[in-house]
Amino acid sequence: MSATLRLDGVGFSYGAEAALRDVSFEVAAGERVALLGRNGAGKTTLVRLVAGLLHPDAGTVWVGGWDTGERAPEELARRVGSLFQHADQQLFARTVREDVGFGPRALGFPVHEVRRRTEEALDALALHAHAEQHPYDLPPALRKLAALAGALALEPMVLVLDEPTGGLDRGLRAQVADALREHAERGAALLVVTHDLAFAAETLDRGIVLDGGRLACDEPLATLLGSAERLKPLGLVPPTVAALSVALDLSGRPVRERDAAHALARVAGGGPGL
Amino acid sequence: MRALHPFTLLAVAAALPALAWILPAPAGGLATAGIAFCLLGSRGLRRGLWPALVAAAPFWLFLLLLHDVRTTLAIGLRISTMVASFVWLAAVLAPDRLVEATVARGWSITAAYLFAATLSAVPMLRARARRIVEAQRCRGLSPRGSVANRLRALRALALPLVLSALHEVDERTLALEARGLVPGARRTPLAPPPDRVVERVVRWGLLLLCLAALVRRVA
Amino acid sequence: MTRLALEEVTFWYPATRAPALREVSLEVAAGEIVALVGKVGAGASTLLLVAADLAPRVTGGRLAGAVRRRARSGIVLPTPWTQLSGMAFTVWDEVAFGPANLGWPGHEIARHVDHALERLEIVSLAARDPITLSGGELQRVIVAGLLAMDPDLVLLDEPTAELDPAGARSMWRLLRLLAGEGKAIVVATSELDAVPDVADRVVWLEAGAVRAIGTPQLLAEDAACDDGLGTTVARIWRAAGLAPPYPLTVADAVQRWP
């Protein structure tokens, strides 16, 4: 058993329409991977396959040593935490706190363990101020955060998230980024579907791009995001930092804000204010 | 059957239960239930017959507990006709066509929408319930296994289903208002379903049939 | 010509003590794009609902101050899923839902619907069932449904949230095009880097009140950067310890660079 998450020649079709064709890749423990591609490239289908809500028509999805095609989603919940697009429909309880604890309770953890996981997840996303509110009383952005906290509380070996930052402001995005980094450091494999390439650049390391259901590219984000010519046919646009690095010819072509500021400061001779 | 005018479908779905109650039991009920289930049969077992049988079964059970066999048969067949007619109607009546047809007749759009929304509520709730169950399973709740498990899963589903539906109603109301669905709006029918002479004759025929049966019953 | 004027508008949602908007004054002219920026919960969505005459008329609640609207407005709310009519089995009919409710003659409806589909580049989706669409496709359909109603005042809440980067770019280009045709546009967005190229003015909201109104240059100021509302280029410039004024965009930075 090597990779935490492994896809082996995975294919899936909705009726006659192929959504994924022959997709293979591995994600190791602690690795932070962005799943990129234009609308309709097959990203959401892949998320549902990893969560066990769909079973591949061809190939296998492995989580640890488990074949997801042979496990029910509730069994996979011990290893996979997921966030889907309709965050609203992933909230079930009367308060945010109760909702975050839903997963650990359903998995049968003892009370003190449920409490520890719940409080840690609330902490990680700074949701304590809203813990006693009804999820639907929160604005959509915070509902998404609450649903994400519910996935974090599973403390899974794989976190697979569909657009975790849509509609979030910069402060909340930074919070999500911190929480994800922390879980990766504890050994979770991250697979994050996102259109937000700036967030991907800051938070994740490797980019897998799907195009028309096929794996179009798999490489470090640091090199991928700097190349406008390669991104364009995949429906992607370099994030601002990468564009700035190229435009000013900054050394090392940084894709993260902090690195770009350092490079800029070196060239300009000023001291970085970070 | 979906090609029929929505009013014709409504007329059939209304006439069958009406006749079931008017015609003498148990032959009348047997006939109407027979027709209704034949119509349903055309929709297939899973989408047509099965839901109707499941919905009608508890009524039979209660009737048997409360009444003798004759009464049970009489009322059970009538109720089965009602259930089967409604399930059939929900399966064949396309809400958008109904809206078009009613708007073409000069009904107010809000009344038509309300009526059609009631019909489309079932599939929408079903889709929502599926997404909630999926999300709950991904967080470890098993809807399978023992009866206790299933009951627990059902309880976990019921409240969020209702609450999220109510919550969405608020957002949807805003969206519909913004898209011109306001009281008193005169909507342009986009593609009013054709209403053939045969269908009108059938509808009037059904009405006359019900009236005749009623007159005969009372007389 | 002023399309929308808010004068000292304060708004409370039902059963809440604290107002969601506090003494907001704002005028939006024809042909102008105004961007609303701020943290989550700062009041941008509420301001749009008020501008669209949905708050308090539909939401309930209480409004103090005056709202003047000299235009037919249309709004796109943040979640596309809850905005489907539920009454259409094709994308074409979905987009036609609004225009039909306005009671326009059939050929007018068809013209506007076709045009809106072209503008959002979703002609190929016309025959699809809306419930089978992805989030990004759905977002385009909803915007098309708004444009097909030909509003003079276009209100958008996070219109690019579901779009891929290329799709987001087309959306911003489309807004400029619409403004060029004389529509007044108010857009709430968290995509700050897009604002300088799109908006004529920026309204910075904080806890329901207007903190500042100005040109997009506002997003390069220290105060905005401190609050997480600076553009990426401005933030990098500042973090590098370079002197203000900071450039707003990559193009600004290139000009500034020796």
Q: Look at residues B10, B3, B18, B14 and name the one whose alpha carbon lies nearest to residue B105.
A: B10
Band of pLDDT at residue A273, cut at 50, 70 and 90: very low
Per-residue pLDDT of chain C (258 residues; tens, 9 = 90+): 899 999 999 999 998 899 999 999 999 999 999 999 999 889 999 999 999 999 899 999 999 999 999 889 999 998 888 888 878 889 999 999 999 999 899 999 999 999 999 999 999 999 998 888 888 899 999 999 999 999 999 999 999 988 888 899 999 999 999 999 999 999 999 999 999 999 999 999 999 999 999 999 999 999 999 999 999 999 999 999 999 899 999 999 999 887
Residue of B nearest to C87 (CA): B96
Residue ranges of domains in chain B: 1-94+194-219, 109-184
Residue B183: predicted pLDDT: 78
Query: What is the chain B residue with the closest CA to A89?
Result: B132
Report yes or no on A231 lying in a domain: no
Neighbouring chains of C at 3+ CB pairs under 8 Å are A, B
Q: Which residues on chain B are in Cβ contact (under 8 Å) with A80?
A: 138
Three-class SS of residue A148?
helix
- Are residue A61 and residue A179 in the same domain, yes or no? yes
- Do residue A210 and residue A115 come from a single domain? no
Confidence at residue A270, expressed as pLDDT on a 0 to 100 scale = 52
Nearest to A72 among B128, B131, B137 (CB): B137
Residue B185 has pLDDT above 90, yes or no: no
Same domain? For A150 and A165 the reply is: no
Report which listed range, A116-120, A166-170, B98-102, B198-202, is most confident.
Answer: A116-120
Encode A182-195: b = buried (16+ Cβ within 10 Å), e = exposed.
ebbeeebbbbbbbb
Interhelix angle B6-22/B27-41, nearest 10 degrees: 150
- Report field, pTM of the whole predicted structure over 0.80: yes
Contact B188 C104 (CB under 8 A): yes
Task: Work out the angle at residue A79's Cα, subtended by the Cα atoms of residues A75 and A80, and round it to the nearest 5 degrees.
Answer: 95
Is residue A259 assigned to a domain? yes
The answer to whether residue A115 is domain-embedded is yes
Same domain flag for A172 and A100: no
Q: Cβ–Cβ of C39/A169 closer than 8 Å? A: yes
Q: Does the distance separating the beta carbons of C165 and A170 come in below 8 Å?
A: no
pLDDT, tens digit, 9 for 90 and up, residues C174-187: 999 999 999 999 99
Asked if A222 contacts A242 with a C-beta cutoff of 8 angstroms, the reply is no
At A162-218, the pLDDT tens digits run 999 988 999 999 999 999 999 999 999 999 999 999 999 999 999 999 999 999 999
Q: Does A274 fall in a domain? A: no
Sheet with C62-69: list strands edge to edge.
Answer: C21-29, C2-12, C62-69
Residue that finishes a domain, picked among A136, A155, A174: A155
> pLDDT band for position B142 (50/70/90)?
confident
Are A44 and A64 found together in one domain? yes
ipTM score: 0.89
The amino acid at A256 = R
Report yes or no on A117 lying in a domain.
yes
Does the beta carbon of B131 lie under 8 angstroms from any beta carbon of chain A? yes
A26 and A131 co-located in one domain: no
Q: Which of C240, B87, C249, B59 is nearest to A269 (CA)?
A: C240
Q: Within this chain, do residues A74 and A2 fall inside the same structural domain, yes or no?
A: yes
Closest residue in B to C85 (Cα) is B176
- What pLDDT was estimated at residue A274? 43
Q: Nearest CB to A136: which of B144, B156, B163?
A: B163
Among A155, A188, A209, where does a domain finish?
A155
* C139 Cα to chain A: minimum distance (Å): 11
Token pair listed for B197: 């002479």
In whole angstroms, what is the distance from residue B209 CA to residue B15 CA? 9
Residues A39 and A97 grouped into a single domain: no
Residue with tokens 């410039």: C237
Tell me whether the omega of the peptide bond preceding residue C56 falls within 30 degrees of 0, making it cis: yes
Residue A248 touches chain C, beta carbons under 8 Å: yes
Q: How confident is the model at residue A2 (pLDDT cuts 50, 70, 90)?
A: low
Q: How far is B130 from chain A (nearest CA, A)?
A: 10
pLDDT of residue A259: 95
CA angle, residues B192, B198, B201, in degrees to nearest 5: 105
Task: Put residue C31 in one of left, alpha, beta given phi > 0 → left and psi -120 to 50 → alpha.
Answer: left
**Can you read off the two tokens belonging to residue C93?**
């009919």
Q: Per the structure, how many domains does chain A have? A: 3
Residue-averaged pLDDT of chain B: 86
Q: How far apart are CA C235 and CA A241, in angstroms?
A: 10
Q: Is the pLDDT of residue B105 over 90?
A: no
Among A139, A155, A171, the domain boundary falls at A155
Regarding whether A11 and A74 lie in a shared domain, the answer is yes
- Is the same domain home to A74 and A3? yes
| Residue A121, domain extent | 86-155
- The reply to whether A139 and A162 lie within a common domain is no
| Residue pair C179/C33 in contact by the 8 Å Cβ criterion | yes
> Which of A 45-84 lie inside 8 A of C, CB atoms?
none
Which of A45-59, A137-151, B161-175 has the weakest average pLDDT?
B161-175
- C231–A169 C-beta distance less than 8 A: no
A18-32, B131-145, C53-67: least confidently modelled range: B131-145
Cβ <8 Å between A74 and B140: yes
Q: Are residues A168 and A146 in the same domain?
A: no
pLDDT tier, B209 (very low <50, low <70, confident <90, very high otherwise): very high
Query: Residue C77's closest chain B neighbor by CA?
Result: B175
Chain mean position to CA A153: 15
- Cα–Cα distance list, A257 to B147, C63, C115, C237 (Å): 55, 42, 41, 10
Q: What share of chain A has pLDDT > 90, as a percent?
A: 82
pLDDT higher at A73 or B105 = A73
Measured CA to CA, the distance from residue C144 to residue C84 in angstroms comes to 12
Q: In what order do the strands lie in the sheet with C73-76?
A: C73-76, C153-157, C184-188, C33-37, C201-206, C209-214
Contact C103 B187 (CB under 8 A): yes
